Amino acid sequence: MQSLRLGNFWSVTRRLRHGWVILLAFLLGGCHYDLYNQPKDKTYDPSSFFADGRGSRPNVPGAVQANRVQTDTYLYTGLINGAKADVMPFAVNRALLARGQAQFNIYCAVCHGEAGNGQSAVAQRGGIIPANFHQPRLRVAPLSHFFVTITNGVYRGDTANNGYQSMFSYASRITPEDRWAIAAYIRALQLSQNATLDDVPPDQRATLGQ
């Protein structure tokens, strides 16, 4: 069986003109002595070269990811001179709100409910009490309060919430831009739950059956 396969190989390569060149190319493909074999430390290798004995080096202090140079402080922290503010760091349009809605429904609705009222499957079964965004305190909270909450999470440090440490930080999972989109969408949710007939343009009130 084995020799049959080998025979097949030779007859195939012989039929290809210069089949042996192909074979040689395959064999030599694995040979590289250039920079491959040189004294170097691989990740996590111990090293006698550096004082701390480690081959891998720590980040240079102050280094930032190339595409994440954080010049716009408000965009990344939600704070202006250490204080929260009630403005967006960039323009809001319908597409951004749609993005915020999608991200909210993916990351937040599971606990806070799609209407943002804290009524959700997790709230019913998990024993934790997610915040209701329509409570008076959060309705008047500055917009960046929502950005900061998503960024840092909520850690109460007491047992008021059935002893749970409340809400995880989403900083590693949701980009700053998307956190703002979610904040804008939460504001839209708040408006939607507290709207009166006066908020509807007169020519569209008829569509509500009013």
Give the residues lining the site for ligand HEC (CB under 6 A): 107-108, 110-112, 122, 128-131, 146, 149-150, 154, 156, 161, 166-167, 170, 182
Decide if 128 contacts 166 (C-beta within 8 A). yes
CA distance 54 to 207: 70
Amino acid at 17: R
Question: By the 8 A CB rule, do 188 and 97 touch?
Answer: yes
Going by the DSSP 8-state scheme, the letter that residue 187 receives in this structure is H
As measured in angstroms, the least distance from the Cβ of 98 to ligand HEC is 16
The residue (of 85 and 154) whose beta carbon lies closer to ligand HEC is 154
How far apart are CB 104 and ligand HEC at their closest, in Å?
6
Give whichever of 24 and 160 is closer to ligand HEC, judged by the CB atom: 160
- Which C-beta is closer to ligand HEC: that of 23 or that of 121? 121
Minimum gap (Å) between residue 40 Cβ and ligand HEC: 43
The answer to whether 143 touches 183, Cβ cutoff 8 Å, is yes
Instruction: Give 92 or 200: the residue with its C-beta nearer to ligand HEC.
Output: 92
Closer to ligand HEC at the Cβ: 12 or 121? 121
Spatial separation of the C-alpha atoms in residues 104 and 94, rounded to whole Å: 15
**Closest distance between ligand HEC and the C-beta of residue 115, in Å?**
13
Residues in the chain: 210
User: In whole angstroms, how close is the CB of 107 to ligand HEC at the nearest point?
Assistant: 4
Contact in structure between 143 and 88 (CB atoms under 8 Å): yes
